[in-house]
Amino acid sequence: MTPPTDARIRGAVVGAGHMGQYHILALAELWGVDLVGVVDTDLAKAQRVAAPYGVPAFASHRELAGLIDFATVAVPTDRHFETARDLLEAGAHVLVEKPMTATLEEAKELFRVARQVNRVLHVGHVERFNGAVQELRKIVERPILIESRRLGPFMPRVQQDSVVMDLMIHDIDIALGLVDSEPRKITAVGASVHSRVTDVANVQIVFESGTIATITASRATEEKIRTLAITQPDAYIVLDYSHQDIQIHRRAAQEYTLNRESIRYRQASFVEHLLVHKDNPLKLELRHLIGAARAAQATGQVELPEAEDLRSLAVSLEIERMIREGRGNRLVGRSSVERSLALMAGAGVLPGRAAAEARRQGWRVVAFAFEEAPGLAAEADVVVPAAISDIQAVVMRLYGERPQAALFVGKFWKQRAFEEAERADQAARRLAGGGFPTPRSPRWW
């Protein structure tokens, strides 16, 4: 879609409910943005919400075709996929509220469509834009224990989504982002209190690094609490989401005093209050979308953070399923969360077949295409052109994809250039962090 000549950008909000109205208010306050419409299947409601902003109301998101550069989607979860897909295919950049979709397959398909039409697709993980969370990422190192509490009273408007998808998904996303390893074991329990789905849930995630995350979410608590506490070797860090505040507790000294009556213990410590730039996280999230949309319009290229978004959704869906089915304890196989496979593709049909089998087994396939491989583009999630003479550049790109495994397959095996395959394999193993093996033979499939 061609940007307006005055460099302003045109946006709309699909969904005039509680969250949609927050989006409208935030967009109306952003410089350089023209809010051109509000959409809701209840047209009268859309008209009431749009009236104070002097913008038209629509009953269908399809009516926005040709009118907008971007849209935010804040409709019920079961309509996220269809709405976001239609908007992407109509040429709009899209922010879809969390949870992204009702299934992981739908989420993968949305990212496929976004890549195909070269449009930005973001997911509404608004806590990522909380000023305190952004500062937290700078100071957390080697977390030992993560304790999260997101509690509050019941709101009838969110009865369709469980507390896992309504509230806990925020904290799952933050925990996964803070720990540089994959989940190994999940324990989950929950209960229905005010609705037919889970209203209270407690989850423990044990990571391969040894980090333990304990996450509690409730919409049956009369006080609103949003806190995150992290224990790491040199500090105890406490974050308050609501106040965008961080306190860092460090031990300064300790002393034991022994006498005939008792043993007395005294500990001296100090508390550091971290300076946090406070702003409206939703406004920052929307500004991030608009910045990405402008960049895409200027360069013709988009960057999609799909690995992080798919992993958060996959883990949340698994937790929700465990609670719903009464399976409180599970060792996590690699297939239960998003896994990336780097497929080094030579010539022939084998790479395409390997990619198809990998996706069938639950892998996200990033193919590095050294030769012409018929069928590969249709089967791989991402195809990256690569030079066989510069394997080091490929390895560096691998680092950005964070694969759990790398596979070489195709007819380049007869070329001398891959006499260094062993060295490339070793580098890929290091990048995979000691996870899955890195097989070199196409017979692995």
Q: What is the pLDDT of residues 351-395, one digit of tens each?
A: 888 888 887 777 888 888 877 888 888 888 778 777 766 666 776
Q: Which position has the higher pLDDT, 437 or 224?
A: 224
Most trustworthy range by pLDDT among 24-28, 297-301, 403-407: 24-28
pLDDT at 439 over 60: no
Q: Which position has the higher pLDDT, 380 or 176?
A: 176
The model's pLDDT over 41-90, given as tens digits with 9 standing for 90+, comes to: 999 999 999 999 999 999 999 999 999 999 999 999 999 999 999 999 99
- Judging by DSSP bridges, how do beta strands 339-345 and 405-409 pair with one another? parallel
Quick one: 177 and 317 in the same domain?
A: yes
- Please give the pLDDT value at position 215: 98
Rounded CA-CA distance 303/286 in Å is 16
Instruction: Please give the tally of structural domains in the chain.
Output: 3
CB 102 within 8 A of CB 237: no
- Please give the pLDDT value at position 412: 57
- Please give the pLDDT value at position 408: 78
**Domain closes at, from 286, 305, 331:** 331
- Identify the band that residue 4 occupies on the pLDDT scale cut at 50, 70 and 90: very low
Cβ contacts of 325 within 8 Å, gap of 6 or more: none
What interhelical angle do 104-117 and 306-325 show, nearest 10? Answer: 160
**Percentage of residues in the chain having pLDDT higher than 70:** 81
Q: What is the mean pLDDT of residues 295-311?
A: 91
Quick one: 211 and 199 in the same domain?
A: yes
**Domain closes at, from 99, 124, 149:** 124
Quick one: 180 and 323 in the same domain?
A: yes
Quick one: 404 and 435 in the same domain?
A: yes
Rounded CA-CA distance 351/354 in Å is 5
Q: What is the mean pLDDT of residues 99-118?
A: 95
Q: State the virtual CA torsion across 206, 439, 365, 373 in degrees, nearest 10.
A: 180
- Please give the pLDDT value at position 415: 45
Quick one: 204 and 76 in the same domain?
A: no
Tokens of 22: 């927050």
Tokens of 240: 């308050």
Q: Which position has the higher pLDDT, 157 or 55?
A: 55
Q: What is the mean pLDDT of residues 132-141?
A: 93
User: What does each C-alpha distance from 72 to 84, 149, 287, 313, 376 come to in angstroms?
Assistant: 9, 28, 12, 19, 33
CATH number of the domain at 152, please.
Answer: 3.30.360.10
CB 272 within 8 A of CB 248: yes
**Domain closes at, from 62, 89, 124:** 124
Quick one: 22 and 83 in the same domain?
A: yes
pLDDT at 264 over 80: no
Tokens of 426: 């070793």
Residue 102 inside a domain? The answer is: yes
HSE-CB at 281 with a 13 A cutoff on CA atoms is 16
Quick one: 164 and 262 in the same domain?
A: yes
pLDDT at 440 over 50: no
- Identify the band that residue 15 occupies on the pLDDT scale cut at 50, 70 and 90: very high
Q: What is the mean pLDDT of residues 33-48?
A: 97
Residue 232: which domain range? Answer: 128-277+313-331
Indicate the range of 113-117, 158-162, 360-364 predicted with least confidence. Answer: 360-364
Residue 270: strand, helix, or coil: strand
Residue 297 inside a domain? The answer is: no
CATH number of the domain at 368, please.
Answer: 3.40.50.720
Quick one: 359 and 317 in the same domain?
A: no
- Please give the pLDDT value at position 102: 94
- Name the DSSP letter for residue 7: S
CB 111 within 8 A of CB 304: yes
Rounded CA-CA distance 384/400 in Å is 12
Rounded CA-CA distance 360/108 in Å is 13
Rounded CA-CA distance 398/91 in Å is 30
Quick one: 266 and 142 in the same domain?
A: yes
